[in-house]
């Protein structure tokens, strides 16, 4: 590139005349450098060197706890509605059933005829005895007439005293026979009466067990009737719950959607081996629109005397060896969290009744314990103060 060089050489000679050139050069270079520096400093939307990021202090809500001396535990039990008077009734005799006058589910009133046995045999006996009665009545009349005649004869000394005694006793015999027959007749009539079943109380026929024409034995149940005037609920309860109830107390019961007030009338005295419960009987109000056999639910509350405090389950955090802990803030504002071990006496899934290393009015972390560790610095605020 010798050509260029010589050209430049000639230019150098003339350049000495332009003395201002170094400053122009310096000026240009300086401008260029500064421009570059400024460009660099303004790049990236001015993301300057960041100040050290802060230590994030988590906000936390706390609530003061209050100890109580007892707590209420709900207990739900289910039982059945029964009738106070529910019985299986039948004939006192055996025989063939002639008539059944009511069907299943029929309403009955006290004294109503329900069923009749076949009384043909009894009627035959009745006819037999009635005929016998007529016979004996005739004998009594004869004896009476005979006695009157003989008394007349004896008074006119026409007959012996012996004859008088004979006819008197004959009259007695005939009268005694009449009494006997009458009594036999009454017996058969009683049997006829007992071949009918009468309703003993108002109520319903639960079940008719026998059809007309069947031959039944003594005491075989024909009907199951239940009184609908007095219903009761039999609810099995564990003894520890049952003993908290007093006789005569009213309890809220529910059958389906209907709510009732039942009054405790009796408690069973023997514990059922399988279900470990006692039966509690609640008498239901008379106009309750329930059926025998309906399922009745009782929502009872059992008060247990034990000191503790209620906290929401979300305030519990895990501890070692299966124990629970809660986190406690020493004060509101900036504070450190402490971990205290507690024991859960009872929980229903949403709230827990606890006792443990806590004092009344200490501030317990309400929720979100999975965010925190004991010893962490937080900003605590009272729950009610939430904006």
Partner 1 sequence: MSNTDKKYPWYTMFVRSGHLLSLAIIIVMVAGLSAINNLPRLEDPRIDLRYTLVLTFFPGASAERVEALVSDVLEDELRELYEIKKVESTSKAGFSLLTIELQDWVDNRTNQQIFGKIRDRLDDAAERFPEGAMDPIMEDNRGATAYTVQYALSAKYPDTSSVNMVSRFAQEFADNLRNVSGTEVVNIYGAPVEEITVSIDPNKLAVVGLTPMDISAAISGADPKLPAGIVYTDNLNLRVQVAQELSSLDVINNIPLLEVNGDYLRVADVAAVTRGYQSPRQTYALLEEQDVIFVAARMQTSVRVDQWTEQIKAQAATFEQMYGASVNVDIVFEQNRYTEERLSELSGNLLLGCVVVMLVILLFMGYKASWIVGLSLPLCAFFAVFSLGFFGESIHQMSIFGIIIAIGLLIDNAIVMTDEIRQNLLLPGMSRVGALVKSVNHLFVPLFASTLTTILGFMPIFLLNGNIGDFIGSIAISVVMALFGSFWISLSIIAALAARFLPKSHAENTPWYVQGLQRPQISNAFQMLLKKGLTKPLQILPIIIVICIMGFILAGNLANVFFPSADRDQFAIEVNLPVGANIESTYALTKQIHQKIKSYEGVEQVHWLIGSSIPTVYYNQVMNRDNSPEYANGVIKVDTMNRAAQLIDRLQFDIQAAFPQAKIVVKAFGQGPPIPAPVEVDIFGPDLVVLEEIGRDVRLIFSQTPGISQSFASISLNEPEVIVNTSRDQVSLSGLSLNDLSLQLQLALNGVVGGSIVEQTEEVPIRVRISDADRSDLTSLAALPLASTQYDINNPFLQVSALGDFSVVPSLTGITRKNSERVNRIQGFLLQGVPAVSVAQQIAAALEDYQLPPGYSIKMAGDADKQNEALGQLGTYAPVLLVMMITTLILSFQSVRFAIVIGSVAILSVGLGMLSLWLSGLPIGFNPLLGCAGLIGVAINGSIVVIAAIKANPKAMSGDTDEIVAETMSCSRHILSTTFTTVGGLIPLLLFTAGSFWPPLAVVLAGGVGFSVMLSLVYTPILIGTLCRIRQRKIVRAEQKRLAHR
**Near partner 1 in 32-91, by CB under 8 A:** 32, 36-37, 39-45, 47-50, 52-56, 58-61, 74-80
As measured in angstroms, the least distance from the Cβ of 371 to partner 1 is 5
**For residue 10, what are the contacts with CB-CB under 8 A and spacing of at least 6?**
none
As measured in angstroms, the least distance from the Cβ of 246 to partner 1 is 22
As measured in angstroms, the least distance from the Cβ of 314 to partner 1 is 6
- Token representation of residue 362: 């200490």
Cβ distance to partner 1 smaller for residue 229 or 331:
331
Q: How far is the C-alpha of 328 from the C-alpha of 343, rounded, in Å?
A: 15
Binding part of the chain for partner 1, among 28-36, 63-71, 154-162, 168-176 by CB under 8 A, reads 28-36
CB of 137 within 8 A of CB of 181? no
Cβ distance to partner 1 smaller for residue 188 or 296:
296
Q: How far is the C-alpha of 309 from the C-alpha of 361, rounded, in Å?
A: 11
CB of 358 within 8 A of CB of 307? no
Cβ distance to partner 1 smaller for residue 79 or 203:
79
As measured in angstroms, the least distance from the Cβ of 184 to partner 1 is 44
Cβ distance to partner 1 smaller for residue 225 or 317:
317
As measured in angstroms, the least distance from the Cβ of 68 to partner 1 is 20
Q: How many CA atoms lie within 13 A of 380 on its CB side?
A: 25
As measured in angstroms, the least distance from the Cβ of 300 to partner 1 is 11
367-386 binders of partner 1 (CB under 8 A): 367-371, 373-377
Beta strand 221-226 with 86-90 is: antiparallel
260-289 binders of partner 1 (CB under 8 A): 272-277, 279
Query: What one-character DSSP code corresponds to residue 228?
Result: S
As measured in angstroms, the least distance from the Cβ of 18 to partner 1 is 5
305-334 binders of partner 1 (CB under 8 A): 313-314, 316-320, 322-324
- Token representation of residue 92: 């006192």
As measured in angstroms, the least distance from the Cβ of 199 to partner 1 is 24
3-state secondary structure of 289: coil
Binding part of the chain for partner 1, among 2-10, 114-122, 133-141, 170-178 by CB under 8 A, reads 2-10
Among the listed residues 226, 265, 186, 212, the one whose alpha carbon sits nearest the alpha carbon of residue 84:
226
Cβ distance to partner 1 smaller for residue 4 or 246:
4
CB of 125 within 8 A of CB of 181? no
Neighbours of 258 (CB within 10 A): 12
- Token representation of residue 361: 């009015």
Q: How far is the C-alpha of 62 from the C-alpha of 362, rounded, in Å?
A: 9
Using the rule CB under 8 A, which residue among 94, 295, 303, 306 binds partner 1?
A: 295
Using the rule CB under 8 A, which residue among 350, 361, 384, 385 binds partner 1?
A: 350
Does the protein bind partner 1 through residue 28 (CB under 8 A)? yes
3-state secondary structure of 7: helix
Cβ distance to partner 1 smaller for residue 248 or 387:
387
Beta strand 377-382 with 58-64 is: parallel
């Amino acid at each position: 590139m010798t050509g260029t060089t010589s050209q430049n050489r000639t230019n150098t000679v003339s350049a000495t005349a332009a003395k201002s050139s170094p400053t122009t050069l310096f000026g240009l270079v300086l401008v260029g450098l500064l421009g570059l520096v400024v460009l660099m400093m303004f790049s990236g939307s001015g993301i300057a060197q960041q100040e050290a990021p802060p230590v994030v202090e988590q906000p936390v809500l706390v609530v003061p706890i209050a100890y109580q001396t007892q707590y209420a535990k709900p207990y739900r039990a289910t039982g059945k509605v029964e009738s106070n008077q529910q019985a299986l009734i039948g004939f006192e005799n055996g025989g063939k059933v002639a008539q059944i006058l009511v069907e299943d589910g029929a309403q009955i009133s006290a004294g109503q005829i329900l069923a009749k046995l076949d009384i043909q045999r009894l009627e035959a006996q009745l006819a037999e005895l009635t005929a016998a009665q007529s016979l004996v009545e005739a004998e009594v009349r004869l004896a009476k007439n005979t006695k009157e005649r003989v008394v007349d004869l004896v008074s006119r000394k026409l007959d012996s005293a012996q004859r008088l005694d004979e006819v008197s006793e004959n009259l007695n015999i005939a009268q005694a026979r009449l009494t006997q027959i009458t009594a036999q007749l009454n017996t058969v009539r009683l049997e006829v009466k007992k071949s009918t079943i009468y309703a003993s109380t108002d109520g319903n026929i639960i079940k008719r067990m026998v059809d007309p024409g069947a031959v039944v034995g003594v005491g075989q149940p024909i009907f199951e009737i239940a009184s609908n005037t007095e219903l009761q609920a039999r609810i099995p309860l564990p003894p520890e719950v049952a003993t908290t109830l007093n006789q005569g107390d009213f309890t809220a019961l529910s059958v389906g959607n209907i709510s009732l007030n039942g009054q405790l009338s009796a408690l069973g005295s023997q514990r059922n081996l399988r279900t470990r419960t006692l039966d509690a009987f609640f008498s239901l109000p008379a106009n309750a629109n329930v059926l025998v056999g309906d399922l009745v639910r009782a929502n009872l509350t059992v008060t247990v005397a034990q000191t503790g405090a209620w906290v929401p389950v979300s305030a519990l955090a895990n501890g070692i060896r299966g124990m629970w802990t809660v986190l406690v803030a020493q004060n509101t504002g900036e504070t450190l969290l402490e971990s205290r071990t507690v024991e859960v006496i009872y929980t229903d899934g949403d709230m827990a009744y606890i006792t443990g290393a806590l004092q009344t009015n200490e501030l317990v972390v309400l929720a979100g314990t999975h965010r925190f560790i004991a010893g962490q610095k937080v900003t605590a605020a009272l729950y009610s103060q939430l904006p």
